[in-house]
A and B are shown apart, each in its own frame.
Chain A
Amino acid sequence: MTLRVAALLAAFALSVGLRVVVGGDAVAQSLTAGLVFAACLLALAVAAATRVPVTRRAVLAGLAGTAVVCAPVGLQQLLTFRPVHGTEGFARWAAVVVVVATAEEVFLRGALYDAVEDLAGAPAAIGVGAVCFALLHVPLYGWHVLPLDLAVGVVLGGLRQGTGTAAAPAVTHVGADLVGWFLR
């Protein structure tokens, strides 16, 4: 079991590294690098025989999670009368974001969560997933992402634990990313 967790973490680190190498200087905005990363994570999840049941409860919890994650920036947008961003370029970007965000959740809150939970329990699984989620974004955006992404990672892990499936955090993650396009 320990070897399984270690292998998943090593493979995850490798996948992040591949993404950074493929994306080069523009890694955060590279759709190709994002898709390569998503393919790696999905392959890992398949190899680990991860199951992600989609239930009505999970989808509803995921939508509520989207509202929670987007609330601070949404409120700021309202209070500062900042206009929402237009839709030009949205469709292509959104298609990739849905794949990448879903792949991240299927791996982090699916395969990795299951392995760590079996080894050390749900709190550890939530914590390890949150740390991985935060760290994976550091090469893309810098160290200032850690507080926000750690917090969001814990919420996503909590959704996984509360609903019993990675479908709920996947809905939240995809929803927050898509809403984030307009709130920036």
Chain B
Amino acid sequence: MSSASRRWAAAALLVTVGWLASPTPIAVYDGVGAPDEPYRYVAPPPGAKKTAPPTAASAQSPVAKDLNINGLSVQTAEQGPQASLFVPPYGLRSAGTTIEVKVAPSAPNDQPTSGRIDGNVYAFTVVSQGQQVTLTAQAAVATVYLRATNPAQPGPLMLYRKVSTAPWEPLKTSRGGQDVYVSTFPGPGEYALGFITPSKATGTTSGGSSAVPYAVGGGIALLLVVLVVIRLRASTE
């Protein structure tokens, strides 16, 4: 193998390792993020952009020795997906021959006691030919992703309830992208993003702060000073 071939192989290996270490459906995190389509509501609020209806999705895995032998990856079809769930192999137990995971959107029929839901409610169900399905220890790494209606910060929390009559409970939530929030998967049930305090419900945008013009002006002034320094250095070298 020539030196050039070895370098290209090393580059391919390096990118693959980096890509595997940053689970992502994109080639590289860069510059200007590809824009999401407007959020698709089941029940659009006044003033919302007219869109196609939000989508449902499902995925199946065969069962061997009572466990799903394939990982289950289900995501809705919007760009980007408004709801996704990833369950690892052997994360679900059932006496059936297949396990199916489904996600379907609905309009919120109630709100958290001290806040509001952002966007749709997503019902995640797991079925297996009428057999009971339970989560195994491997399901601890199963993750739910929901996209918020906008990227404003502070962002919403993931809310969960087993049945639609139960109160909403916040889950430990992390930000998985500009407007995507991630949580572990405690089990089938309803998931939604929500702001659980009124102050968080409004959200704040750092771009709208009154300090922004000063920060921009100061930054440009500093940049100009550095530009002059670099220019002077370049001309003397």
Complex-state Cα separation, A26 to B33, whole angstroms: 9
CB distance from B131 to the nearest CB of A (A): 27
Please tell me the number of chain A residues within 8 Å of chain B, measured between CB atoms.
Answer: 74
* B residues in contact with A31, CB < 8 Å: 32
B115 within 8 A of A: no
A148 within 8 A of B: yes
A48 touches B29 (CB 8 A): no
A152 within 8 A of B: yes
- Name the residue of chain A whose CB is nearest to the CB of B216: A21
Q: Which of B15, B177, B222, B229 contacts A155 (CB 8 A)?
A: B15
A29 touches B31 (CB 8 A): no
B15 touches A69 (CB 8 A): yes
A65 touches B11 (CB 8 A): yes
- Name the residue of chain A whose CB is nearest to the CB of B34: A181
Q: A21-B219, A29-B35, A142-B176 are in contact. Are A176 and B207 (CB under 8 A)?
A: no
B202 within 8 A of A: no
* B residues in contact with A155, CB < 8 Å: 11, 14-15
Complex-state Cα separation, A137 to B30, whole angstroms: 7
Secondary structure at chain A's binding surface: helix, strand, loop or mixed? helix
Q: A7-B233, A40-B223, A147-B21 are in contact. Are A29 and B32 (CB under 8 A)?
A: yes
* A residues in contact with B229, CB < 8 Å: 3, 7
Complex-state Cα separation, A181 to B79, whole angstroms: 11
B8 touches A85 (CB 8 A): no
Cβ proximity bits A7-39 to B, threshold 8 Å, 1 near / 0 not: 110110011011011111110111100100000
B227 touches A43 (CB 8 A): yes
* B residues in contact with A179, CB < 8 Å: 27
B137 within 8 A of A: no
A140 touches B14 (CB 8 A): no
Please tell me the number of chain B residues within 8 Å of chain A, measured between CB atoms.
Answer: 60
Q: A25-B151, A177-B31, A184-B34 are in contact. Are A145 and B22 (CB under 8 A)?
A: yes
Q: Which of B29, B80, B216, B223 contacts A149 (CB 8 A)?
A: B29
Interface residues of B in 1-54 (CB under 8 A from A): 7-8, 11-12, 14-36
B198 within 8 A of A: no
* A residues in contact with B177, CB < 8 Å: 141-142
Q: How many A-B residue pairs have CB under 8 A?
A: 207
Cβ proximity bits A148-184 to B, threshold 8 Å, 1 near / 0 not: 1111101100100010000000000100110111011
A100 touches B27 (CB 8 A): no
A85 touches B79 (CB 8 A): yes
A76 touches B25 (CB 8 A): yes
A53 within 8 A of B: no
Complex-state Cα separation, A70 to B176, whole angstroms: 21
B31 touches A21 (CB 8 A): no
B230 within 8 A of A: yes
The 6 tightest CB contacts between A and B, nearest first, are: A24-B207, A151-B18, A147-B21, A148-B22, A28-B33, A100-B31
- B positions within 8 Å CB-CB of A: 7-8, 11-12, 14-36, 73, 79-80, 150-153, 175-178, 203, 205-208, 212, 215-216, 219-220, 222-223, 226-231, 233-235, 237
- A positions within 8 Å CB-CB of B: 1, 3-4, 7-8, 10-11, 14-15, 17-18, 20-26, 28-31, 34, 40, 43-44, 47-49, 64-65, 68-74, 76, 80, 82, 85, 89, 93, 96-97, 100-101, 104, 137, 140-142, 144-152, 154-155, 158, 162, 173, 176-177, 179-181, 183-184
Other contacts beyond A70-B27, A97-B31: 19, CB < 8 A: A7-B230, A11-B230, A18-B216, A21-B215, A26-B150, A29-B34, A43-B223, A48-B234, A49-B235, A71-B16, A72-B15, A93-B35, A104-B30, A142-B177, A144-B23, A148-B18, A148-B19, A148-B29, A177-B27
